[in-house]
Each structure stands twice: as structure tokens, then as C-alpha cells.
Structure 1
Amino acid sequence: MATTLPTFKLVLVGNGGVGKSTFVKRYLASDLKKTYLSTRGAEVYPLNFTTNYGDITFNIWDSVLSEKFGHPRDDFYVNGQCGIIMFDLTSRITYMNVPSWHREIVHRCGNIPIVICGSKVDIRERKLKPKVIDFHRKMSLQYHEISAKGNYNLEKPFLSLTRELTGHQDLEFVTSPTLAPAEVQVDADLMQQYNEEFSSAAQKPLPEEDSDL
């Protein structure tokens, strides 16, 4: 018998301009209701999924201050239960800052489940090749490449977090919120190529120092 799963606070962080708000707002087609908390500089979006174990809700905290000042206020992280760190595949500096965002989440929230997302995978002129993206491997984190405008892989970060939060590795989404229509087309052959490159890179030892970006 399915059981109802709890609600989790998800902190969504990353440099300004990487696509965090666009990522969340793809779900506006399902009447996603936003709450603005001026005292914490955050917009909060509740997002509901139905799983084979019951319903689950993520309250996604998207910092509006990171666009202007670089980092959210301290109380943005209070009671955070999971996190997504997002960077832009067309911007090396946003990936170079991922370790800093990771340290900040761990410092503020403790050892909570975290997923890393590389955004804008639909753009062919990516600056970060699969072989240099290895921070997630060093930290044993899940990593997903997404396209908000192309509606590509948008569920995967939530599925990874849900499995880790609940401990049910066989958990699947039965129904998901409706997405707004895709604005760009994602090249399936190119995505397959990237997946193969990641598989190849995963077989190689991690470099002792940071990869040459």
C-alpha cells in the first residue's frame, strides 16, 4: 500500500544567469504557485510528484539575491533538507564555483542530499566537455545535464533526490507536473554522444588536481 511521503525544503543555488529560475518556471504550466519571502530574499515554489510510494512535495527555494549579490542570506539555508547546485555548460566560471556552493550548503545545512546540474545542454557551443566535469565524482554526487528550454532531463534531479531522501532506490515517478511547451529542440544524437563521453570518462581515474578547464 502506498504511503504519503513528506515535504522537503530544496535549496537551489548557483551563479546568477545559469538558469535556475528558468528551470523552476518550466513547471508554471501546472499552476505552480510562487511565494516571495522578502526577509530571506527567496522565491519559494511548491512542486508535487506522485511516486510508486505515494506523493512527495519539494518546496524549492530559489534565491533572488544570488543574481545581485552572489550568495543568499544565511537564513535562506535554514532547515534545508536537500539541494541542487546548477552551473552553465557554456560558462567555465560557473562550474569553477561549484565547489564553493557545495561547501556553503554543507556548512549551512550539513550532509544533506545534493545533486549537481549542468544547464543549457541544448547549446552546441558548450565550454565544458564531459571529461572535465568530475567534481560530482570526487564528492560521490549525482550529476545531470539539463535543458530548461528544451524540457530535457528536468525530472532527473528530483528523482535522484527523492530516492536518496526516502531510501527507495526503486522509486519512480508515476505522474509529474506538466511542463510548459519546449522552446528549443534538443539533439538526441548529440545527447547520446555526451552520454558515451561521460561513460568513458567514468572509467578513468580521477585526476589528483582539478581538471584543466
Structure 2
Amino acid sequence: MNFEDYQYLFKFVLIGDTGVGKSCFLSQYVKGKFIQEYDPTIGLEFESKSIEFNDGIVVQNQLWDTSGSSQFMAIQKTFCQNAAAAIIFYKIDSQNSFKSLENWINILKQVSSDMIQIVIVATHQDQENQRQVQTQQGRNLADSIDAKFYEISNHDKDQIDGIINSLSYNVLRLINSNKINPLNTQYGVKMSRQQEQQYASQLDNTDDNIVQQQSSPNRRSLDMKQEQNTISPNKTTASPQRPEQEETEQNQQQNKPQLQLIFILLPIIIAYGLYYILL
């Protein structure tokens, strides 16, 4: 499989104290090999593995194994940035490794996005007789930060595969629900060139639909204006009748005094005529 044989690339970081089983977890997932002898990581290690989901989407998981030593704290913070998911480790037979989880969680809060997927993994489940941390303690801590919780044995590859596959599925679901923008590097996601072109095309189609939806009320308003314009000519043709009516009313008002004057003068004229006749 070449570098571009995937749709998405996810960045996962593995953090926790030295000796909690991060490197063994990584080896089992990528190579299916359990590391017998403890060999502390210096700085960081990097491995990748691709998985294909039922819908044909191929995801390449990049897993960064950071050293748990305090002298590499600067490197740990740097590589926790822009991560899609983080797996925090402690071992059930070490109370100190469990107490250190608070420090690792604080590092994630400082440098990661608010959409990072977090999993707490308790290793050495096969060493129950040496347990120092109860299962409920780990589960309570995970619940307090809205994280998944697992107790595992690094001998169990199926369990390890299930954890990574579940994380990949959750990140992919956030992308599909538009809660993660795969073009924004802060979310620890990268798309192949082909997938990026398809995603950009989908965004363009979405923008066109939004524009069409926004423009439809404007067309309706234009229709309403046209309806108003079809009505308004009737109003304008009726308006010239008003001045004629007003002129008639004015003439009638002007004629009223003349008629009144005639009615007043007529009896006087008749009286004078009778007076001269009688004389």
C-alpha cells in the first residue's frame, strides 16, 4: 500500500509514564509482536497502519509513542499538539503511574483541540495478584473527562486492535457529522489529494444550495411586487375621475350664492312691477 492509498490519515499519540506498556501496545497493533524485554523509548517512535471500514473508507493511523521520561517533556508536549486521539496508559500494579495521569491529562488540555478523542488504558491485566489500582478508580477518572476506559493485557492483540479501530471510527464519525473540519490541521486529520478534491466539491455544492435557499424568498418578493404592479394601473386609471368630481362640486358651490341672490331679488322686482302698474 503506497502513501496515497487512503482517504484519511489520523494522528494518535500514546502517552504515560515510563514502563506502562506503550511500546508493547504499539508493537502488538502494528506487527502483532509482543515485546518480552522492556526497552525504554528514547524521545519518540512512530508507526503507521491502515484499516478499511465496511463502506470502503481507508484510514491510515499514525501512532506516535512518546517517552514517559520527564527529560523529554518538551517533546511530549510538541507531539501531543494537533492529535486526533490520545491513549493515556497506566498499569494496574503501579499506583504512581495512575497518579501521573492527572499530569498527562493537563498536558492534553493545554495543547490539544476540544474535539480530541481520549482513551485511558490500564495495562498488566494479567497481573491481577499485584494490583494496586482498582478498576473502578480508572473508570471513574475516565468518566470525569468523558473518555473511554479499558483494562487490557498487552498479550491480547484483538483487544488492542479493537481500541484503535474504535478510535478511528469515532474520529471518522465526527468528520461525517461536520464536527471536525478535515482541512484544519489542529484536529490531527489529513486527507488524500483525491479525498480533498471530493470534499471541496461537496462544500461547493452545499454553498450553492444555501445560496439558492436564500435567494428564493427574494424571488417571492419580486413576484409580490409584480402582483402589486398589476393592481396599481387600475388605481391610476381611477384617479383622473377625482378632479372632475371636485370641479363639479366646486361649480355647484359657486352657483349656490347666485341662486340665493335671484331668490332674494325676484320678489323685489315683482313688487316694483306691480307698484308701477297700479299707478
Q: Counterparts of 1:116 and 1:72 in 2: how far apart (Å)?
A: 22
Equivalent residue, structure 2, for 1:41: 43
Q: Residue 6 of structure 1 is aligned with which of 8, 32, 42? A: 8
Compute the RMSD of aligned alpha carbons.
2.3
Corresponding position: 1:157 with 2:157: no
Q: Which residue of 1 aligns with 2:273?
A: none
Which of 1 and 2 has higher RCO (CA within 8 Å, sep 6+)? 1
SS of match in other structure, 1:167? helix
- Equivalence for 1:103: 106
Which residue is equivalent to 2:119?
115
> Which one of 18, 21, 24 corresponds to residue 20 of structure 2?
18
Note the 1:36-115 alignment, pairs <5 A. 41-53=43-55, 54-64=57-67, 66-67=68-69, 69=71, 71-73=73-75, 74-111=77-114, 112-115=116-119
1:117-152 CA-partner distances (Å, limit 9, x unpaired): 011111122212222221011111111111112436
Distance in 2 (alpha carbons) for counterparts of 1:83 and 1:11: 5
TM-superposed CA distance for 1:20, in Å, is: 0.2
- Give the structure with the higher percent strand: 1
Q: Secondary structure at the match of 2:157?
A: coil
Alpha carbons of 1:113 and 1:45: their partners in 2 closer, same or farther (altered >3 Å)? same
Residue 67 of structure 1 and its aligned partner are, at CA, apart by: 3.6
Q: CA distance change for structure 1 residues 30 and 132 in 2, over 3 Å: closer, same or farther?
A: closer
Normalized per residue, the structure richer in helix is 2
- Report the counterpart of residue 144 of structure 2 in structure 1: 138
| Deviation of the 1:5 alpha carbon | 4.0
Distance 1:122-1:81 versus aligned 2 partners, 3 A rule: same
Unaligned runs of 5+ in 2: 1-5, 34-41, 175-279
CA contact (8 A) 2:29 2:161 kept: no
Identity fraction in percent: 22
- Secondary structure of the equivalent of 2:132? coil
**What secondary structure does 2:52 align onto?**
strand
Deviations 1:87-125 (A, max 9, x none): 111111111111221111121112211111011111122
Distance 2:125 2:81 in 1: 31
TM-score relative to the length of structure 1? 0.65
